[in-house]
Amino acid sequence: MGTLIVILITLLAVANGTLLTSLIARRIPLPARFCAGSVVGLAAVAWIGFLLSLLFGLNALSIGLTGLILAAGLIALFRVTEPSRLLEEFRAISWGRFDLIYYAAWAGLLAWLFSRVIMIYPDGMHTAPANNFGDLPFHFSVITSFAYGDNLPPQSPIFAGLKFTYPFLIDFLTAFFMRCGADWRTAFGVENLTLSLSLVGLIDLMTMQLVNSRIAARLAPVIFFFNGGFGFINFFRDLGQFFDDHNRAKEGLVALLARLPSTYTMNADLILSSDEKIPLRWGNVFTTLLIPQRSLLFGLPFVALIITLWWMAFEDRESSESDRLSNPQSVTRRYLLAAGGLAGLLPMLHAHGFFAVMLASVVAVLCRRSREWIAFFVPIAVLAGPQALWLSGTQVRNKLFELKVGWDAGESNPAMFWMVNAGVFILLLFAALIIPKLISIRTQIFYLPFLLWFIVPNLVLLAPWAWDNIKVLVYWSLVSSPLVAATLAYLLTRRLALLRVLAAVLVATLTFSGALDVWRGLSPTENVLLFGQEELDVAALLREKTPPHSLILHAPIHNSVVALSGRRSVMGYPGHLWTHGIDYRQRESEVQTIYRGGSGAAEPISRLGVDYVIIGPVERSQLQIEESYFERLYPRVIDHGEYRVYQIKR
Question: Each residue of 68-119: pLDDT tens digit?
Answer: 999 999 999 998 887 778 788 887 787 788 889 999 999 999 999 999 999 9
Residue 616 forms part of a structural domain = yes
Residue 232 forms part of a structural domain = no
Residue 299 pairs in a beta bridge with: none
Looking at per-residue pLDDT, the higher value among 598 and 392 belongs to 598
Give the 3-state secondary structure of residue 274: coil
569 closest CA partner among 582, 557, 581, 583: 557
pLDDT at 328 over 80: no
222 closest CA partner among 291, 265, 286, 283: 286
**How many helices (DSSP H) and strands (DSSP E) are in the chain?**
28, 10
**CA distance readout (Å), 171 to 166, 445, 559:** 10, 37, 17
Q: Give me the pLDDT at residue 313, please.
A: 92
Q: Give me the pLDDT at residue 399, please.
A: 64
Distance CA 287, CA 397 (A): 29
Handedness of CA 127, 132, 134, 139 (dihedral sign): negative
Cβ count within 10 A of residue 45 = 27
Give the 3-state secondary structure of residue 98: helix
**Angle between helix 497-522 and helix 214-225 axes, rounded to 10 deg:** 40
Residue 639 pairs in a beta bridge with: 644
Q: Please give the tally of structural domains in the chain.
A: 1
338 closest CA partner among 293, 284, 376: 376
Contact indicator for 41, 14 with CB cutoff of 8 Å: yes
Segment 266-286 mean pLDDT? 90
Residue type (1 letter), 25: A
Q: Which domain holds residue 557?
A: 530-647
Residues in CB range of 508: below 8 A, 6 or more apart = none
DSSP labels, 572-635: --HHHHHHTT---HHHHHHHHHHHH-STTSHHHHHHHT--EEEE-HHHHHHS---HHHHHHHS-
Contact indicator for 429, 438 with CB cutoff of 8 Å: no
Residue 631 forms part of a structural domain = yes
526 closest CA partner among 133, 233, 118, 257: 133
% of the chain surpassing 70 pLDDT: 96
Query: Tell me: the pLDDT tens digits for 282-322?
Result: 999 999 999 999 999 999 999 999 999 999 998 754 444 44
532: left (phi over 0), alpha (psi -120 to 50) or beta: beta
Segment 193-220 mean pLDDT? 97
**CA distance readout (Å), 212 to 316, 438, 630, 638:** 11, 11, 69, 63
Segment 518-529 mean pLDDT? 95
Query: Tell me: the pLDDT tens digits for 215-237?
Result: 999 999 999 999 999 999 999 99
Is it true that the peptide bond before 436 is cis, omega within 30 degrees of 0? Answer: no
pLDDT band, residue 513 (cuts 50/70/90): very high
Residue 589 forms part of a structural domain = yes
Residue 125 pairs in a beta bridge with: 120, 531
C-alpha 240, offset from chain centre: 36
Residue 12 forms part of a structural domain = no
157 closest CA partner among 485, 515, 440, 572: 572
Q: Give me the pLDDT at residue 394, please.
A: 57
Question: Which CATH number goes with the domain that contains 534?
Answer: 3.40.50
Q: Give me the pLDDT at residue 192, please.
A: 98
pLDDT at 37 over 50: yes
Looking at per-residue pLDDT, the higher value among 46 and 93 belongs to 46
Residue 620 forms part of a structural domain = yes
Contact indicator for 280, 229 with CB cutoff of 8 Å: yes
pLDDT band, residue 363 (cuts 50/70/90): very high
Residue 645 pairs in a beta bridge with: 614, 638
Residue 463 forms part of a structural domain = no
Contact indicator for 451, 433 with CB cutoff of 8 Å: no
Q: Give me the pLDDT at residue 273, please.
A: 77
Q: Where are the beta strands (DSSP E) in 103-216?
A: 119-121, 124-127
Residue 637 forms part of a structural domain = yes
Q: Give me the pLDDT at residue 245, please.
A: 73
pLDDT at 337 over 80: yes
